[in-house]
Amino acid sequence: MINVEDIYFTYPNGVEALKGVSLQITDGEFVAIMGQNGAGKTTLVKHFNGLLKPTRGRVLIDDIDTRHVSVATLARKVGFVFQNPDHQLFSETVEDEISFALKNFGFDEKTIKERVDWALNILDLTRYRKTSPFMLSGGERKRVALASVLAWDPKILILDEPTIGQDRNQKERLRQFILQMNHQGKTVVIVTHDIEFVAECEPRVILMSDGRIVADGSARNVLTNPDLIAKSWLLLPEITSVLLNLNNLGFPANVMDVYEARDLIIERLGWDRK
């Protein structure tokens, strides 16, 4: 469980990035943290694995106060995939990259091989096993970074802007993968501007603005609220925007799913769905 208790954080240059943030994320939740650049999203999640320590307040991970333990200790529970994969890649091959943390954590050779093979396969990286990560595309390097974290099976998975550099097919594969991890009991937190991706995943959504939480609720309730979205300097999901413009014709304004929208339009027009 993640407990954030009234935290403030000020960078050395004097920028106050978090201003009294409190929230609780229970085991097995899927949460998307959204907002404009500078809203405090990444600053907040860097407190979850101890990369940053609050100026005031505290963060508890399974009742462990992050102020009093190292990042290495928290890493066994909290896996963090950075927005820029080059900030965490350094090995000569993809295989070495994925196995590095497993070796440091003391896994035996048999388990290391099994976990590396699993991570390569599930993220479609097997053909790059002996390739340098730095020879890959940005989207592929992002998948390598994710594989290197998933290999040690952390309880909590933090993904910062996971869809950047991914094409439509890769995004859908990522969506299915995240949902699979979540259904298996893993706590998943993503930081993203990709409102269409979040609308398709339908997690709990936390909106941030100017270092504060301005909304916290279901994706349907938060992402279809024009006032909240405007306050966070985001855009409504495309399907929501279309139906909102048809609201005077009797269409609901809280629809995000394309198939639900299709059924509503067919019903309105009196067409036979067959």
DSSP for 7-63, please give it: EEEE-TTS-EEEEEEEEEE-TT-EEEEE-STTSSHHHHHTTTTTSS--SEEEEEETT
Query: Could you tell me which residues come within 8 angstroms of residue 33 by beta carbon, excluding any fewer than 6 positions away?
Result: 41, 44, 45, 189, 190, 191, 192, 206, 208
The residues spanned by each domain of the chain are: 2-234, 237-274
Nearest to 146 by CA among 198, 180, 97: 97
* Structure tokens, 274: 């067959």
Which two structure tokens, joined as six digits, stand for 142? Answer: 């992002």
Separation of first and last alpha carbons in the chain: 46
CATH number of 2-234: 3.30.10.20, 3.40.50.300, 3.40.1350.10, 3.40.50.620? 3.40.50.300
- Taking the whole predicted model, whether its pTM rises above 0.85 is answered as yes
Q: Is the pLDDT of residue 209 over 90?
A: yes
Render pLDDT for 112-132 as a digit per residue (tens, 0 to 9).
Answer: 999 999 999 988 899 999 999
The β-bridge relationship of strands 56-61 and 64-65 is antiparallel
| pLDDT tens-place string over residues 13-64 | 999 999 999 999 999 999 999 999 889 999 999 999 999 999 999 999 999 9
pLDDT score of 249: 74
pLDDT tens sequence across 101-111:
899 888 999 99
The yes-or-no verdict on residue 223 having pLDDT over 90 is: yes
Cα separation, 191 vs 159, whole angstroms: 6
